[in-house]
Structure 1
Amino acid sequence: MTALRECVIADYPRMRARWQNDSMMFARTAIALAAMLPLTAFAELSNDTLLGPGLRSRPAYDGSDSRKAEFVPVVRYLGRPWFARSTQGVLEGGLRAELAPGLHVGAQLAYEPGRQTGESGFLEAHNLPDIKRGGSVGLHLEWDHKFGPMPVTLLVRGRKNVDADLGAQADVRLSAGVFQGGRFNAGVFTQAVWASSKSVSAFYGVTPAQSVAYGLPAHDAGSGWLNTSFGLLWSIDLAPKWVVVGSFEQRRLRGDAANSPLAERVSNGYATAGLAYRF
């Protein structure tokens, strides 16, 4: 026993060093595996099929001091070839095809909300007419990729209103997942929207005749950048099949839209939250 004890004591430094090395290797492996966990629970950055009700707080129109709360759908379905979604700034659906791994091209129909005079005290005071709700047709290109554990989506989209007088718009949207902790996930996004002269003029222009009729300064609005925005995406897993999703967005008018007499302010906030079932 004495000999065995002396052997153990003599070998202790080597055994301790080996244990420390094994512990460090285990810790590094655990950290590496944790870093590989995908941040994919956001509605916008996930391929999960989602469906449910949501609530949104928004301005009456971009540039308005009036606000409105409304029910909105939470929809995300990415099939082959059909798709439908409300999770990337527009309620849209159509066809898509994969050109290469992570790269899709598609054609879509989208809902266009128009502008309702009754939602804005400013528009009502000047008796401006409604811009009717409608739709648009367009094309898009979407790239999905992961930089390590971080999912990234780049969407380039163009759409033309079915009402020719309302012109066309194009937007670029970049989204990234940045945090995952337990049931909570967070991401960020930024977006820029370009609009044709017809589109900007319809929503923010004031012709000389309208100036006289509505008591506003005339404003010639041309094509250019309509707005830019940045925001936060978030989700909370309530159960394996149920998730709460939402976003906060700050949007800023640009160009002739920002200088329009219809713009009571140049910056507006949006907030959305919804409960969705994950299929």
Structure 2
Amino acid sequence: MKNFDEAALRLTVNARWTTASLAALGAIMATAQSASAQTAFTLPAPPFELPMLPSPSGNWTVMVGIGGDYTPDFVGSKNSKFRPIPIFTIRRAGSVDQFRGPRDSASIALLDVGNFRAGPAFKYVSSRKSDKYAELTGLGDVKAAYELGGFVEYYPVDWLRLRSELRQGVGGHTGTVADVSADVIVPLIQRLTISAGPRFTWKSTKATAPYFGVDAAQALASGLPTYDAKGGAHSVGFGSQISYRINPQWEVHAYVEYEKLLGDAADSPLVKLRGSSNQTTVGIGASYSFDFRIR
């Protein structure tokens, strides 16, 4: 009962924090809404252009926002916590309204032609502190990781988005991560859209071992058996999102994502003895879009 009360209190406090954050975002962006139909600002042309890529000159649309989700304490945990999530994407202005899934990394669509988009992608992976959770006692800390890479996105039809990301970790892990997803996008009524589809993640050994491996020293300190975690198929899952476009600039959304750990991640003693291979995340968010121009 005590643990339940503490969890309920933590969820209530964090929910209030999210409400305040979204309200603050609204206050900041509302000042620009009066000029929403115009280009917000103009940047000078870049000093050089990259070969094989279209010129960045022209109008661009930026989507920024904030959300929050109730997600596992760490990957493989059976308990959950609340955390804030930033939203950031850039696309060519005038292209088809961009659908954004809750698992998407921050990205810039440098190549935006018809139903195809591609460009750089970035994801921040927070640090894992062993002193914060009893399940991690003796396993040591894992530093924050920065995953840098790119994405490709294709709409074979206007109601189906296919997306793939490939990222390389720096910091807490130095491995490779690949995410693949598909989303069926269905307008329910004007401005209200629901989407859903499958997800799959692959991770290399260097992206898996820091979080799921147990070396001899960690086994002695934690009481868990030693475990040499290898890479491979990391998880499979399914996600759904409902979004409402208040106006051309503002959009709010809510989502749920389920992930089933696979392979060495699921077989890790941290997951089998102290955690769960079933990972569920529930979240909400709000985003604001505005235009800028590069000469």
Change (3 A) 1:163 1:102: same
The corresponding residue for 1:74 is: 87
Task: Give how far 1:61 is off.
Answer: 1.5
The corresponding residue for 1:221 is: 229
- 1:7-86 alignment, distance < 5 Å: 49-79=62-92
SS at match of 2:270: coil
The corresponding residue for 1:162 is: 170
Larger RCO, structures 1/2 (Cα 8 Å, 6+ apart): 2
SS at match of 1:218: coil
Of 123, 133, 153, the residue aligned with 2:144 is 133
Q: Measure the CA separation in 2 of the matches of 1:62 and 1:164.
A: 14
Q: Which amino acid aligns with 1:243?
A: E
Q: How many residues align?
A: 224
Q: Measure the CA separation in 1 of the matches of 2:242 and 2:99.
A: 17
Task: Give how far 1:119 is off.
Answer: 4.5
Does the aligned pair in 1 maintain the 2:243–2:253 contact within 8 Å?
A: yes
Report the RMSD for the aligned CA atoms in angstroms: 2.7
Q: Measure the CA separation in 2 of the matches of 1:157 and 1:234.
A: 23
Does the aligned pair in 1 maintain the 2:139–2:214 contact within 8 Å?
A: no
- 1:236-275 alignment, distance < 5 Å: 236-263=244-271, 264-275=275-286
TM-score normalized by the length of structure 2: 0.68
SS at match of 2:207: helix
- 1:135-150 alignment, distance < 5 Å: 135-146=146-157, 150=158
Change (3 A) 1:231 1:225: same
Task: Give how far 1:163 is off.
Answer: 3.1
Of 188, 207, 230, the residue aligned with 1:199 is 207
Does the aligned pair in 2 maintain the 1:60–1:68 contact within 8 Å?
A: yes
Task: String of CA shifts for 1:45-78, please: whole Å, max 9, x gaps.
Answer: xx97533221211101121022111222233332
Q: Measure the CA separation in 2 of the matches of 1:214 and 1:122.
A: 9
Task: String of CA shifts for 1:109-152, please: whole Å, max 9, x gaps.
Answer: 332224233553311xx232221113122132221232xxx521
Of 107, 125, 128, the residue aligned with 1:93 is 107
Q: Which has the larger radius of gyration?
A: 1
Change (3 A) 1:276 1:140: closer
TM-score normalized by the length of structure 1: 0.71
Task: Give how far 1:228 is off.
Answer: 1.2
Task: Give how far 1:268 is off.
Answer: 1.4
Task: Give how far 1:90 is off.
Answer: 4.3
Does the aligned pair in 1 maintain the 2:237–2:259 contact within 8 Å?
A: yes
Change (3 A) 1:85 1:199: farther
Change (3 A) 1:272 1:48: farther
Q: Measure the CA separation in 1 of the matches of 2:61 and 2:187.
A: 18
The corresponding residue for 1:41 is: none
Q: Measure the CA separation in 1 of the matches of 2:102 and 2:127.
A: 18
Q: Does 2:232 align with 1:232?
A: no
Does the aligned pair in 2 maintain the 1:189–1:233 contact within 8 Å?
A: no
The corresponding residue for 1:23 is: none
Q: Could you list the runs of 5+ residues in structure 2 that have no partner in the other structure?
A: 1-59, 291-295
- Percentage identity across paired residues of the two chains: 25
